[in-house]
Amino acid sequence: MKRYILYMMFALVAGVSHCDLYVNSDEPRDYYEFPDFDILTLGKNISDMIMDPQQPYLYLTDYGNNAVLRVDIDGEMKVDRTLILGSHPIAMDVTPDQRSLIVGLYGESSLAIVDLANFTIADKVPVSLVGINDFVCASNSRLFVSAHTEPNVVSLTLPEKVEQDEIIRSGELLASPDGNKIFVASTNILQKYDLSSGFITQEAWSAPFGFQAKINDFVYGPNGEHVFLCLADQDDRTNVRDVLAFSTTDLTLTGNFEIKSAGMGVAVSKDGKRVFVAPTEADAAGVFIVEFDAETKLEKDYYLVAGNLKAKCIVIDQNDQYLYVAVNTPGDNDSFEPYNNNSFDLQRIILH
């Protein structure tokens, strides 16, 4: 009898637990996954990131420690080499022949040329500008360098190290793969210059932004049809809530990728079909990289990251398998300890 009563008790709990009162009638949709974070702890103030075009290396400028880090991304991420370059590296570009990494130094008016084959400093080129913010390699021997303090860029010819003032406005710079076009995102407009004739002429310009913009990132689309621009309005953070795409032909607006806050960075897959946008702000559940369909401009996927993101610090690997982003994880920047406010790590994200 006792046994039967116990059986009845079990049956009661088991039966009741399956009645409607204890069954969820509907399930919400899952929009994102919770993968284990793959993070290389660095604790550095990373100012730029660039992928080696041939080798499994990622290069990071360590602004606070005047260095470039070479991160081996084959297997477990690890800092392979650290190269001290000079004061405050701010921007990087790879020469079209893919042999050299050039690093702009904000703190000492020069560019450092790094031989990618052996990761050593091959040369250092002085520039007359103070406060370099960006540069671009139009060819293996011709660079355009911009500084916040100057209205126009200068060009550098290598290896002669000849500097020349140009009519191109200062700003964030891009070059077309053939080196014949230069794109400039300045504080209020986007402009395109033609170099093919031997003389520099302004070819197109966008509609003005309508406010003094901070350029967080400026990316040339891999299929050559679009440039992607991440703007921020420092006077009104609610003003910009999207990333813009412009036609490389006439700089008309071709896309608007809404992310509810200013874009910090953008990366595009090699086929140009997938656009990954790093937002400035988190949503209630965390910080997400948002993937858009380049054609429909609609959100397609979401990737949770470990912390706040950094301007220019999102890149995609050569095989479109992984995204790499600089993340500032919470909890390490709420005190007065030195160097704790720009403590970025490197996160690798597997693309779906």
Residues interacting with another protein, by CB under 8 A? 1-2, 5-6, 9-10, 12-13, 16-17, 21-24, 26-28, 30, 34, 36-37, 237, 261, 280-284, 286-287, 304, 306-308, 330-331, 333-334
**For another protein, the closer CB: 29 or 298:** 29
Q: To the nearest whole angstrom, how small is the minimum distance from the Cβ of residue 121 to another protein?
A: 36
- Cβ-count burial of 135 within 10 angstroms (0-12 exposed, 13-18 middle, 19+ buried)? buried
Shortest distance (Å) from residue 20 CB to another protein: 10
For the CB of residue 264, give the shortest distance to another protein in the complex, in Å: 10
Q: With respect to another protein, which residue has the nearer C-beta, 36 or 160?
A: 36
* Residue 81 Cβ vs another protein, minimum distance, rounded to whole Å: 29
The residue among 34 and 199 lying less far from another protein, judged by its C-beta, is 34
Minimum distance, C-beta of residue 29 to another protein, in the bound complex (Å): 10
- Closest to another protein by CB, 3 vs 197, is 3
Kindly list the strands in the beta sheet with 78-84, ordered across the sheet, starting from the edge strand earlier in the chain. 46-51, 57-62, 67-72, 78-84
Comparison of 58 and 327: residue with beta carbon closer to another protein: 327
Cβ-contact 299, 291 below 8 angstroms: yes
Residue 15 CB, nearest distance to another protein (Å)?
10
- In whole angstroms, how close is the CB of 306 to another protein at the nearest point? 6
**Sign (positive or negative) of CA dihedral 59, 63, 64, 67:** positive
Q: How far apart are CA 231 and CA 266, in angstroms?
A: 11
Nearer to another protein, 159 or 286 (CB): 286
Which CB, 19 or 298, lies closer to another protein? 19
Neighbours of 344 (CB within 10 A): 25
